A and B are shown apart, each in its own frame.
Chain A
């Protein structure tokens, strides 16, 4: 083993990632399964291991508000939450993105009530899809620590907030070997944050005032953006974040020896007849299902989706177009009620007009912590292949391991 390998939970890995990133202000409110991340950070700060201010707040809404304020005056900031905490933060997520602040947060994915569930699915972060945050989903604890560090470099390069998402309990509370990056090397990879503007009492400014639908002159007679121009710039920033995210992933790989793939990753995909696609730990589980299926002579492969916003449309088209599989199966822990899983809709939209259009089945699975076993994924794949082999290529939404009726 190497000197710097530790056996860590996902929350411990995230906390070490935050510490290594030299965060200056942490503000968070405890919620299961995020709590041990926040607790660990408060211990680091209290014990002097992390020179930062921990601002205690009465809610997640205030936690994000503190992050926005601290980021506005030039600090590198962090918060984390789950489920209802994230939903309570929703309004401030828009404010962080609209203000173009490089806030980084961890969303420890958990289902959403009613009824109450403290267990894992990805409904919470998927529901924040349209807030203007970059979203990256981690497949294991190694990816969590590495992604937290990368997130700051991405956020500060493009001036957009980044949400690092990972599955509650499944990763947050499960220990596994994690290589902890060298502190000096992280410092070199991620120098201290130098904001382009800092709110300063000696140079007072009015930030985010009411803005009108049309463009207007400011006090100096300069024609300024209207609301729509600013929205366009946020959209453009997220589109332009893609090459940055790819570069950061490669640069991190060169220094630390691990490139998590930037937007996508794949497993035994080159010659696959059937593609299993997903985000987070379920995609890892799908690699086990792939091994099982290949032993039975079914050529399966995994397309892991790491980046959800901005969505890697061209790369998904290319990955799927290169393979010409007879079925594409999406496994996801969320549902857009009344339609289908959000990831499935996005993948279908990405394939619009593409020459390669395999039949697509959407598997809704693991909601509210329902265990998803590799064998269940493999059984689902076989059932779908039977349907496709019988000539039925219609789209389907399948609830895996769920009693219906």
Chain B
């Protein structure tokens, strides 16, 4: 039988009890870099040793300025599901005005984590999802300070990766910096890493 072939990829190991998967949804607007942030997170997690990582954009057409999402799955075992995320462990919100038009809270697990790019913290906890853990970072402010700009707008996706490391502890700064260097080159990587570190330090945990 085929199964005696040790090279055969059909012989996948079932997930063990200690295996887990962490799911992140990135909420932003077309052009803000949700896809790139999601990809860097997946790559960094892989570099850190997670065997399964996937990053997917919103399936379909992309429109600048319109609400878009990307999703990252991080797992201790190779990932065998490409279905869209029902309820994420963590939502990262690149544009705080999105909470008026997108029901971000229902995309989260009960007691999930939300990481907001906002200059000041508001009361984000809603009846729709009690017990949310909230972390706030002024990602736009940090981007401006580090001259991290594109087409006249601050680049907030990299600082939010720093906030992710601080708030969740799942993927560490060491590997996020490595992931940024993998994706970006030279001085661009340096600027992004500086913003990443500032964001890590300045993230406020409201839980």
Contact = CB atoms under 8 A, between A and B. Distances in A.
Interface string A249-261: 0100110011111
B61 interface: yes
B46 A7 contact: yes
B47 A369 contact: no
Contacts of B83: 285, 371-374
A173 B5 contact: no
A68 B39 CA distance: 37
Residue from B7, B10, B12, B55 having most chain A Cβ neighbours under 10 A: B10
A374 B14 CA distance: 14
Interface of B is mostly: loop
Given A176-B52, A284-B82, A285-B83, 17 more contacts: A7-B39, A174-B54, A174-B56, A175-B42, A176-B54, A253-B7, A254-B7, A259-B7, A261-B2, A261-B9, A262-B2, A265-B2, A284-B81, A294-B14, A369-B60, A373-B81, A374-B81
Contacts of A281: 82
A253 B55 contact: no
Interface string A235-275: 00000000000000010011001111110111110100000
B10 A266 contact: yes
A69 B185 CA distance: 41
B59 A259 contact: no
A288 interface: yes
B3 interface: yes
Interface of B: 1-3, 5, 7-10, 12, 14-15, 39, 42-43, 46-47, 51-57, 59-61, 78-84, 86
A119 B57 CA distance: 13
A7 B55 contact: yes
Nearest to A169: B59
Nearest to B61: A118
A1 B46 contact: yes
25 contacts: A5-B46, A7-B55, A118-B60, A167-B82, A170-B59, A170-B82, A174-B54, A174-B55, A176-B52, A176-B79, A177-B53, A177-B78, A254-B7, A265-B9, A266-B3, A268-B14, A288-B80, A371-B83, A371-B84, A372-B83, A373-B81, A373-B83, A373-B84, A373-B86, A374-B83
Contacts of A171: 82
